[in-house]
Structure 1
Amino acid sequence: MHHQLSTLVPFVRIAERVSQSRIDTLSKILTSYYILRLVSTVHAVIVGLFCLYILWFDDAVNADPVWGDPNLVKLNVAITCGYLLYDLLLLACNWSTMGDSFFVCHHLAALYAYGYVLTRGVLPYFANFRLISELSTPFVNQRWFFESLAYPRSHRLVVANGVAMAIAFFLVRIAVMPPYWVKVFATFGTPAFERLGLGAQVAWIVSCICLDVLNVVWMYKIARGCYRVITGTSGKKKVDKASADEFNHVNNHMD
């Protein structure tokens, strides 16, 4: 009997090492998520407030939305581009657990358009206006923190944050679409628009369309989740499935 137990010792030790390895891996993944969300929130607060300051007080940009003085806007856009590159690198390094094609498309579209702002200093008003959307990001990240801490969905803090997230997301990403596109259409055919050239025009319009389509998709997901939580109409199986779906698809880098 003693001999049989002694022969099992190596296998037990191997199992312990494998188990510890999995725990260490999960710990690293969770730490990466926490760092990602924390950095995202800090970025969103800085860029969002800076964006509002420019919209309210930068007369040069407001007077000439296509060719106005881009210095402050370029600084704000540079911060965002740095964050997007960092986020893409983190996604690439942890693709099996964090990868999502939606966010890759989002980041590439944003970087493509913002590249013209940084290199040519064009479209400062419109580039800065897009960054209003960052003001909804802290609520999205807070929702993830509640999920990771296993707060029940019926908890009043979770419900309050969910409602605030849905309202903020709608206001800064959906409700701003009509005035934004009215301003865009107003530039069509003007000398300032013609000076942009075809490359900048295509980058501007196509990237904005892609980003707005993604925002509408995300708004639908958020509104559906918010409705289920408020009304309590989802069963446990549906809730678990929704949690997994939103964990993978409702992220922090919605520009």
Structure 2
Amino acid sequence: MSSVHAIFITAMSLYFVFWSDLYSDKYTAGPITFRSSPLSTFALGVSVGYFLSDLGMIFWLYPALGGLEYVVHHALSAIAVSYAMFTGEGQLYTFMVLISELTTPEINLRWYLDTAGLKKSNAYLINGVVIFFAWMVARILLFVYMFYHVYMHYIQVIQMHQIGILLVFMVPSVLAAMNLMWFGKIIKGMMKTLAKRP
């Protein structure tokens, strides 16, 4: 389920952030922080459903599917995406953060390879390298770009409701800190795997 959602929302997010005119500065239909469309709202609705169902599974099987950091990650995501969906505010920044779901299929594949006893295979090594680069682009560099975009559009951001402003600044900051923490673990794991290779 998480891989299907990841593929869907990554494709939709990339479309809205980089190819659609909906949030373009050239499009003059008011501040970008208040723009939405039926398609963008629908895409966010799919994500809300996913995060809530996944959060329910995490609670049901706690801590087998993940500890406190997964609860925080999914709860913040569900709150921020729900707010953007219901109010139409800050949808661009929500989609920027949702591009980070690009890393989910690779992480799921890593679990399958590990479970199948293929930890020493070339597929496991290649998957680890792909996770490293995907994580660096989608969960580190893209967040830097998002914060820069917020800075460049600060006047439009502060026109949002106070809850929306709080979510734009708080949620990506917390998620970025978690992404950096996990990235450190990815680097350590990759170095350990490479050191074991003949």
With normalisation by structure 1, the TM-score equals 0.71
The within-5 A match list for 1:155-170 is 155-170=121-136
Are 1:90 and 2:57 matched, yes or no?
yes
Mapped contact 1:62–1:125 kept (Cα < 8 A) = no
The within-5 A match list for 1:33-52 is 39-52=1-14
CA displacement 1:3-25 (0-9 Å, x = unmatched) = xxxxxxxxxxxxxxxxxxxxxxx
Are 1:220 and 2:187 matched, yes or no?
no
Counterpart among 95, 102, 107 of residue 135 in structure 1: 102
Counterpart among 120, 142, 145 of residue 154 in structure 1: 120
State which structure, 1 or 2, has the greater radius of gyration over its C-alpha atoms. Answer: 1
Q: Percent of pairs identical after alignment?
A: 22
Aligned length: 192
Residue 76 of structure 1 corresponds to which residue in structure 2? 43
Distance 1:157 1:55, change over 3 A: same
Counterpart CA distance in 2 for 1:194 and 1:105 is 25
Are 1:209 and 2:176 matched, yes or no?
no
- Displacement, 1:98? 2.5
- Displacement, 1:226? 0.8
Query: Alignment partner of 2:34: what SS?
Result: coil
| Bigger mean CA deviation after superposition, 168-177 or 110-119 | 110-119
* CA root-mean-square deviation: 1.6
| Bigger mean CA deviation after superposition, 166-175 or 111-120 | 111-120
Could you list the runs of 5+ residues in structure 1 that have no partner in the other structure?
1-38, 234-255
With normalisation by structure 2, the TM-score equals 0.90
- Displacement, 1:96? 4.4
Residue 241 of structure 1 corresponds to which residue in structure 2? none
CA displacement 1:16-52 (0-9 Å, x = unmatched) = xxxxxxxxxxxxxxxxxxxxxxx11111111111212
Counterpart CA distance in 2 for 1:66 and 1:105 is 25
Mapped contact 1:112–1:207 kept (Cα < 8 A) = no
Could you list the runs of 5+ residues in structure 2 that have no partner in the other structure?
26-30
- Displacement, 1:112? 1.9
Residue 22 of structure 2 corresponds to which residue in structure 1? 60
Distance 1:99 1:52, change over 3 A: closer
Residue 105 of structure 1 corresponds to which residue in structure 2? 72
Counterpart CA distance in 1 for 2:113 and 2:187 is 18
